[in-house]
Amino acid sequence: MNAIVTVDHLRVEFATDGGTVVGVEDVSFTIAPGETLCVVGESGSGKSVTSLSLMRLVEFGGGTITAGALNFVRTDGSTLDVAAASPQVMGGVRGNEIGMIFQEPMTALNPVFTVERQLTDGLMLHKGISQQAASARALDLLKSVRIPEPERRLRQYPHELSGGMRQRVVIAMAMACEPKLLIADEPTTALDVTIQAEILALINRLKREKGMAVLFITHDMAVVAQMADRVVVMYRGRIVETGTVQQIFEHPREDYTKALLAAVPKLGEMKGKPAPERMRLIGDDAARAAQIAPKPRKPELLLQVKNLTTRFPVKGGILRRTVAQVHAVEDVSFALNVGETLALVGESGCGKSSCGRSILRLVEPTSGEVWIGGRDIGALNHHDLRRARADMQMVFQDPFASLNPYRRLKAQVAEPIQNFGLAHGAELEARVLQLFDRVRLPRDYMNRFPHELSGGQRQRVAIARALALNPKLIIADEAVSALDVSVQAQVLNLMMELQDDLGLSYLFISHDMAVVERVAHHVGVMYLGRIVEIGPRAAIFDSPTHPYTKSLLSAVPIADPNKRRFADDLTFKPISSPIYPLGYQPAPSTYSQVAPGHYVLQA
Amino acid sequence: MKRFLTTKGLIGIILLTVIGLIAIIGPMVIPAEAGTAMDMTARRSPPSLKHLFGTDQLGRDLLIRVILGARTSLQIAVSAVVMSIVLGLPLGLISGYFGGRIDNVLMRLVDTLLAFPALLLALTISAVLGPNVQNTIIAIGVAFTPFLARIIRGEALRVAQMPYVEAARSSGTTDSMIMVRHVLPNILPAVIVQGTISLAFAILAEAGLSFLGLGTQPPAASWGLMIQASRDQLDIAPWTALVPGLAVARTVLGLNMFGDVLRDILDPRSK
């Protein structure tokens, strides 16, 4: 089979204030028609630079292709070296012979143009066809990406579409001129898991039908296993390993690939295991993780949430009066024992974060009770609440935003202790040192500023800060979602280790089912503000009962190329809106018990 | 301190030092009478050896007047901007951090002030209090406060929603400590930028007030007054506008460069 793309010893440099930085170096690969090549790597590996170079878009980000050739076989059969092509020639290739799908569908679409305008612009430019012909083709395209009610969608603006539909429009745009090569740069990273499944299935079908070559950039090994024919593993701007998807997953040759694969949790691998288990890591961490077996604990109740409801007002009209309410958390009840982890899972907007924040009263719940240590948090006054919060701390998702960029790490970790005057001077210093040791950060990091640390290190600082007051409960709101997979595994292991040593309880808020399966004792599945199913981890994963839990689990990609699930088109029920008119009183959540401790919301 | 030693920082510091020295030393060595001494034989004479920067419509030496005017202009502008920051910073900080009802009340107040053109506001204040240097400072300072308060509020609003503020709140940090430790350092860059821009406008505002007879009183010199006086002779004696104009431009340039470098230095990320 003749390759359609041959990348040969590509080198891209970026000029910065601090001198020249090499983005990628010595990168070579080929892609054949009808083949999906996945380029996988962690942040900073150069995977996006590679894809942008193929479009010659890298120049707009300040990069320069300084060596190598990027040969692309054009529609007319001639070969074009993209690295040397003139801007005019590239203008005819981009969007015409090479299509591109971007990560964030909202920013990839221009909010002031209708869907029709976005689709027809490229067609009229590249194909020189009339407005009518272009509109007809746009409709065909929307049908081919299976958007419901395509005629109506043409006249809509991007904000009127759901996230999944937007990404379908972006794909339709990329497909408009029937490109020979489709570049997809993290096309599903910003999407919920059910929408991701739909989009992956769609890309697979289009590739099959049109015989396109697909260059698929991702950081997610599970997505790679589901999509790739061949895989290129990148690390720090270089190719580590290239091979077929089977080779890479079953017989990885390089240590880096092995470590990367080991760190990926696979959905279903915890079947039959009673307790959470450490993530597999290669090297020292692995040895340490293996040594420690979780201590058995007597069940002892720590946190009890009863009928928690949080609603946010929707303001409207000239007088900014409340016209409706978002029912973010609706009649949620659960209990959490000392030293255990309850995971709240669900898709964006399901209310899992609001639930965590309502427990801490970072947002005021509308009604309900939160009992911890014999006190109802909801009934506390301002002064007592401040004291009570010392028992419950939070770790946030974005490690870049959760630390103050202007303060030294030492000061940020010491702050909670100072707030309650628990230690001063040398004693305070010693406490902070201890905390840094506890989260395995070098002591000399104490005097650094947040920007000098990597994402994983910052998250360790955030954990150290949360531990400063010896809390009983830590609410981890997507605490590892923004981290690279190997770093994620290390931070998860640290969290599990702290749980064993200190008897911490976690309310683990996450969208990642594979991670949850690994760390949780109990799982609650949230949908439209309610818990639709809750129970022991094994019960939820082995015998999901609620239809939503089932569809959620069926949409999770599995990091195993022999278990492919996205061959045919998939459509999941779109999540409806949790906005209700004022005064609307929803029915209380009533549950039926399907097994001991396993409850399902009654419809 | 090494980090001030960028090209930009150096130029900024040199410009400001020179202007500052002129403003301080100038009036010490040059007697006030020299600024008002008229040479009727050399009215509107272009720059020459006798009058390096030329003379104005009354034959007064522009070099001497621009040196004497530096102190008046800078004193008023700097004091007024400091005053507007002192007033606007707590207003904007509290409004943006607490939000809700407090924000509504404070910002409606600020909006009311914003509804009047800053100069008109300054004019009213100055007219009520009477024309002298101190009242000119108060007038301009109060008139500039709403702009600063608005910008600081926007920044404070953004910072107050950052996870590190929530983390601080959930670990028991009091509101006042959060504002001082977390919000203030993060909004300082915006304050510095807005402050340096305001200085330029304050110099011009003083000119406007002086023109209307409510700021610096002739025959005393200020840069603003000189620019205003030159307006009806731009075609025959352009240097009368150019000389004080360049003085203002140079000050603003120096301030902007210095402000930029100061902002970079305060940001630990730029190390």
Phi, psi torsion values for A451, nearest 5 degrees? -65, -15
Residue B49 has pLDDT above 90, yes or no: no
Which residues of chain B does A462 touch, with a Cβ-Cβ cutoff of 8 Å? 167
pLDDT tier at A216, thresholds 50, 70, 90? very high
Q: Is the preceding omega at residue A586 within 30 degrees of 0, hence cis?
A: no
Question: Is A406 in Cβ contact with B172 (below 8 Å)?
Answer: no
Which residues of chain A does B174 touch, with a Cβ-Cβ cutoff of 8 Å? 386, 419
Residue A86's contacts (CB-CB under 8 Å, 6 or more residues apart) are: none
Per-residue pLDDT at A289: 54
User: By percentage, how much of chain A surpasses pLDDT 90?
Assistant: 41
Which residues of chain B does A406 touch, with a Cβ-Cβ cutoff of 8 Å? 185-186, 266-268
In this prediction, residues B36-63 reach a mean pLDDT of 74
In this prediction, residues A440-462 reach a mean pLDDT of 90
pLDDT tier at B205, thresholds 50, 70, 90? confident
Q: Which residue of A has its CA nearest to B167?
A: A394
Residue A244 has pLDDT above 90, yes or no: yes
Q: Which residue of A has its CA nearest to B183?
A: A404
In this prediction, residues B189-206 reach a mean pLDDT of 85
Which residues of chain A does B266 touch, with a Cβ-Cβ cutoff of 8 Å? 406
Residue A325 has pLDDT above 70, yes or no: yes
Residue A20 has pLDDT above 70, yes or no: yes
In this prediction, residues A51-67 reach a mean pLDDT of 88
Question: Is B267 in Cβ contact with A416 (below 8 Å)?
Answer: no
Per-residue pLDDT at A144: 83
Per-residue pLDDT at A535: 94
Say how far apart CA A526 and CA A534 lie, in whole Å: 9
- For A393, which of B171, B268, B269 is closest by C-beta distance? B171
Which residues of chain A does B170 touch, with a Cβ-Cβ cutoff of 8 Å? 360, 362, 389, 392-394
Instruction: Give the number of beta-carbon pairs within 8 Å between A and B.
Output: 77
Question: Helices (H) and strands (E) in chain B — how many of each?
Answer: 11, 0
Question: Is B173 in Cβ contact with A449 (below 8 Å)?
Answer: no
pLDDT tier at A290, thresholds 50, 70, 90? low
Question: Is A416 in Cβ contact with B171 (below 8 Å)?
Answer: yes
Residue B250 has pLDDT above 90, yes or no: no
Rounded to a whole number of angstroms, the distance from the CA of A265 to the nearest CA of chain B is 28
Identify the three-state secondary structure at position A63.
strand
More confident residue, A198 or B218: A198
pLDDT tier at A229, thresholds 50, 70, 90? very high
Say how far apart CA B21 and CA B19 lie, in whole Å: 5
pLDDT tier at A162, thresholds 50, 70, 90? confident
Strongest mean pLDDT among A326-330, A479-483, A582-586: A326-330
Per-residue pLDDT at A245: 93
Question: Is A407 in Cβ contact with B185 (below 8 Å)?
Answer: yes
Residue B18 has pLDDT above 80, yes or no: yes
Helix axes A131-144, A163-175, angle to 10 degrees: 130
Question: Is B181 in Cβ contact with A415 (below 8 Å)?
Answer: yes
Question: Is A404 in Cβ contact with B267 (below 8 Å)?
Answer: no
Rounded to a whole number of angstroms, the distance from the CA of B174 to the nearest CA of chain A is 8
B2 — contact with chain A (CB < 8 Å)? no
Residue B217 has pLDDT above 80, yes or no: no
pLDDT tier at B3, thresholds 50, 70, 90? low
Rounded to a whole number of angstroms, the distance from the CA of A360 to the nearest CA of chain B is 7
B41 — contact with chain A (CB < 8 Å)? no
Residue A292 has pLDDT above 70, yes or no: no
Say how far apart CA A334 and CA A320 lie, in whole Å: 35
Which residues of chain B does A449 touch, with a Cβ-Cβ cutoff of 8 Å? 268-269, 271
- For A416, which of B164, B172, B269 is closest by C-beta distance? B172
CB A140 within 8 A of CB A223: no
Residue A361 has pLDDT above 80, yes or no: yes
Question: Is B172 in Cβ contact with A387 (below 8 Å)?
Answer: yes
Phi, psi torsion values for A572, nearest 5 degrees? -105, 155
pLDDT tier at A475, thresholds 50, 70, 90? very high
Question: Is B268 in Cβ contact with A405 (below 8 Å)?
Answer: yes
Q: Which of A406, A445, A463 to mutate to test the interface with B (most CBs of B within 10 A)?
A: A406
Which residues of chain B does A396 touch, with a Cβ-Cβ cutoff of 8 Å? 163, 166-167
Location of structure tokens 């419809």: A603
B269 — contact with chain A (CB < 8 Å)? yes
Residue B36 has pLDDT above 80, yes or no: no
In this prediction, residues B147-176 reach a mean pLDDT of 92
- For A406, which of B171, B174, B185 is closest by C-beta distance? B185
Question: Is B186 in Cβ contact with A404 (below 8 Å)?
Answer: yes
B186 — contact with chain A (CB < 8 Å)? yes
Per-residue pLDDT at B115: 86
Say how far apart CA A335 and CA A132 lie, in whole Å: 61
Per-residue pLDDT at A248: 93
- Tokens matching residue A85: 């092509």
Point out the least confidently predicted range of A114-118, A141-145, A506-510, B158-162: A141-145
Amino acid at A194: T
In this prediction, residues B241-265 reach a mean pLDDT of 84
CB A474 within 8 A of CB A466: yes
Question: Is A419 in Cβ contact with B171 (below 8 Å)?
Answer: yes
The helix or strand, by DSSP H or E, that contains position B69, with its residue range, turns out to be helix B62-98
Say how far apart CA A145 and CA A214 lie, in whole Å: 16
Q: A406, A329, A398: which is closest to A360 by C-alpha? A: A329
Q: A352, A330, A359, A287: which is closest to A505 by C-alpha? A: A359
Q: A99, A80, A96, A91: which is closest to A213 by C-alpha? A: A99
Q: Which residue of B has its CA nearest to A399?
A: B163
Q: What is the mean pLDDT of chain A?
A: 88
Rounded to a whole number of angstroms, the distance from the CA of A392 to the nearest CA of chain B is 8
Residue A569 has pLDDT above 70, yes or no: no
Rounded to a whole number of angstroms, the distance from the CA of A159 to the nearest CA of chain B is 23
Rounded to a whole number of angstroms, the distance from the CA of A321 to the nearest CA of chain B is 13
Question: Is B185 in Cβ contact with A449 (below 8 Å)?
Answer: no
Q: Which residue of A has its CA nearest to B184?
A: A406
Q: Which residue of A has its CA nearest to B268?
A: A406
CA angle (A479 as vertex; A475, A480 as ends), nearest 5: 150
pLDDT tier at A293, thresholds 50, 70, 90? low
Per-residue pLDDT at A1: 55
| Burial class (CB within 10 angstroms; exposed 0-12, middle 13-18, buried 19+) of B169 | buried
Sign (positive or negative) of CA dihedral B196, B198, B201, B206: negative
B181 — contact with chain A (CB < 8 Å)? yes
Per-residue pLDDT at B271: 57
In this prediction, residues B100-125 reach a mean pLDDT of 86
B163 — contact with chain A (CB < 8 Å)? yes
With an 8 Å Cβ cutoff, the interface of chain A facing chain B consists of 360, 362, 386-387, 389-390, 392-394, 396-398, 401-407, 412, 415-416, 419-420, 449, 451, 462, 465-466, 468-469
User: By percentage, how much of chain A surpasses pLDDT 70?
Assistant: 96
Residue A483 has pLDDT above 80, yes or no: yes
In this prediction, residues A503-527 reach a mean pLDDT of 93
CB A72 within 8 A of CB A82: yes
- Tokens matching residue B163: 């996870």
- Tokens matching residue A496: 């599990």
Which residues of chain B does A362 touch, with a Cβ-Cβ cutoff of 8 Å? 166, 169-170
Q: Which of A319, A397, A415, A458 to mutate to test the interface with B (most CBs of B within 10 A)?
A: A415
Per-residue pLDDT at A291: 52
Which residues of chain B does A466 touch, with a Cβ-Cβ cutoff of 8 Å? 167, 171
Question: Is B182 in Cβ contact with A449 (below 8 Å)?
Answer: no
How far is Cα of residue A211 from the mean position of the Cα atoms in its chain?
A: 30
pLDDT tier at A285, thresholds 50, 70, 90? low
Residue B50 has pLDDT above 80, yes or no: no
CB A242 within 8 A of CB A230: yes
Rounded to a whole number of angstroms, the distance from the CA of B10 to the nearest CA of chain A is 18
Which residues of chain A does B267 touch, with a Cβ-Cβ cutoff of 8 Å? 405-406
Per-residue pLDDT at A368: 92
Which residues of chain B does A404 touch, with a Cβ-Cβ cutoff of 8 Å? 162, 164, 168, 181-182, 185-186
Whether the model clears a pTM of 0.90, i.e. scores above it, the answer is no
Residue A25's contacts (CB-CB under 8 Å, 6 or more residues apart) are: A11, A237, A238
Q: B112, B110, B70: which is closest to B93 by C-alpha? A: B110
- Tokens matching residue B91: 């207003």
* Buried/exposed code over A2-20 (b: 16+ C-beta within 10 A; e: otherwise): ebbbbbbebbbbeeeeeee
